[in-house]
A and B are shown apart, each in its own frame.
Chain A
Amino acid sequence: MHANTEKLMIDARRAYELGRVRSALPVLKWILPLVAVSIAICGEPVASLSLGALLSVTSVYFLWRGQKLGQGVQAGLVIGTATFLIPIFAEVTGKCCALGSHAVLCSTLGLVAGAAVGYHILKVRETEGRYLLSVTAMTILTASLGCAILGLSGTAGLVIGVLIPTIPVYAVLKTRYQNQV
């Protein structure tokens, strides 16, 4: 290949990668309001900012990488946002402490979110591990913004709760798919 063409190819590749980062950035329009609500309601700005930064970096990375990782971001954000709103709503209405201990509340939320993730992957019949990783990571990170209000035990409960139903559903789906092939 001609040296100029090779240089052009490198430049084109750089332009492509930058274009992908640019096209991934609008996801922040979804995440930043959640972080703002989390900071305002939970009263744990450091935890909210750290989780928000982690969620932002992860989602932009997944969307930049694309393929299965990118495809799972939207579903994860939707399930995660629905889960995020429950502890926030409980805090705003003053019913947070009446719902039980932090870990129990978030574990229950996690179970519901995990069931939603499981239902989603069954519905789209997606057996690719990276897709599951993307949906699960997005769900956990988004929902944990709401659980920042409940501290570390709440977040840990959420993670466990999400993983309990997700992993078996994925295992069943993968086995069934492999048997079909």
Chain B
Amino acid sequence: MNGSQYEDLNRQMAKLADGDRSAFEPIFELVWPSVKNFAERALNNSPDAEDAAQSALLKIFAQASGYKKELDALPWILTVTAFECKTIRQKHTRRREQGAMDLVIDQATDNSLNSEEILIEKDLYAALNKVIESLPLSDQETIKVAFERKERPNIPPATFRKRVERTIKKIETLWSENYAR
């Protein structure tokens, strides 16, 4: 977006905030490419970038009547988009964690494994247990709560997620120190 488009966007946003519907289309044409590019860069061109961009655009227009003339429109628009991208990324992280947990449980209960595979699994679990037992008690408890679906401690979900991430990192470090070839 060049300087004159930037100024034009500010002007058109002020008109739209006041209820002038004629500003809707020019704003849409100015904003949509910027929002889409920003989301693609923020989410590394993942397929979710388009969803994030669309959702951000709808939020921008839903909040357009509250836009304040003295503010620059573009930073406000990109802040809304960045927030939307962050929300989508967080959703993914949560889904990945849940997916990994389900995979471990599925494999553990899968009866189709042959005896050799079962032995390998057993060895891996034994090694993993050894690594987990070498962690401090608080970390062991975090892992148990996270992966055995026990009752979560009374802390905010975001804090708990960060705690789980830290513990998993510790496990990865210990694992690579002891078992990496």
Contacts and interface: CB of A to CB of B under 8 A. Distances in A.
Interface of A: 5, 8-9, 11-13, 15-16, 18-20, 22-23, 64-67, 69-71
A8 B65 CA distance: 19
Contacts of A13: 24, 61
Contacts of A20: 19, 65
B57 interface: yes
A70 to B, nearest CB: 6
Nearest to B57: A12
A13 B64 CA distance: 11
B25 to A, nearest CB: 8
A44 B65 CA distance: 37
A19 B57 contact: no
Contacts, number: 50
What are the nearest 4 A-B pairs in CB distance?
A66-B19, A19-B62, A16-B61, A15-B62
Contacts of B32: 5, 8
Interface string B56-81: 01110111111000000000000000
A65 B19 contact: yes
B69 to A, nearest CB: 13
Interface of B: 16, 18-20, 24-25, 28, 32, 54, 57-59, 61-66
A149 B66 CA distance: 38
A16 B57 contact: no
Contacts of B19: 20, 64-67, 69-70
Contacts of B66: 19, 23
A11 B24 CA distance: 12
Contact of A19 (B18, B28, B63): B63
Nearest to A1: B29
The SS class assigned to the B binding surface is helix
B58 A11 contact: yes
A5 B32 CA distance: 9
State the main secondary structure of chain A at its contact with B: helix
A64 B65 CA distance: 9
A23 B65 contact: yes
A16 B59 CA distance: 9
A15 B65 contact: no
B65 A19 contact: yes
Contact of B16 (A15, A16, A71): A16
A52 B58 CA distance: 33
A64 B59 CA distance: 18
Nearest to A8: B54
A16 B40 CA distance: 24
B65 A67 contact: no
Given A5-B32, A8-B54, A9-B28, A15 B18 contact: no
A66 B61 contact: no
Given A13-B24, A16-B24, A66 B65 contact: yes
Given A12-B28, A13-B24, A70 B61 contact: no
B13 to A, nearest CB: 12
Contacts of B25: 9
A5 B63 CA distance: 20
Given A70-B18, A70-B19, A12 B65 contact: no
A16 B64 contact: yes
22 contacts: A9-B25, A9-B28, A11-B54, A12-B28, A13-B24, A15-B58, A15-B59, A15-B61, A15-B62, A16-B16, A16-B24, A16-B62, A16-B65, A18-B62, A19-B63, A19-B66, A20-B19, A20-B65, A23-B65, A69-B19, A70-B18, A70-B19
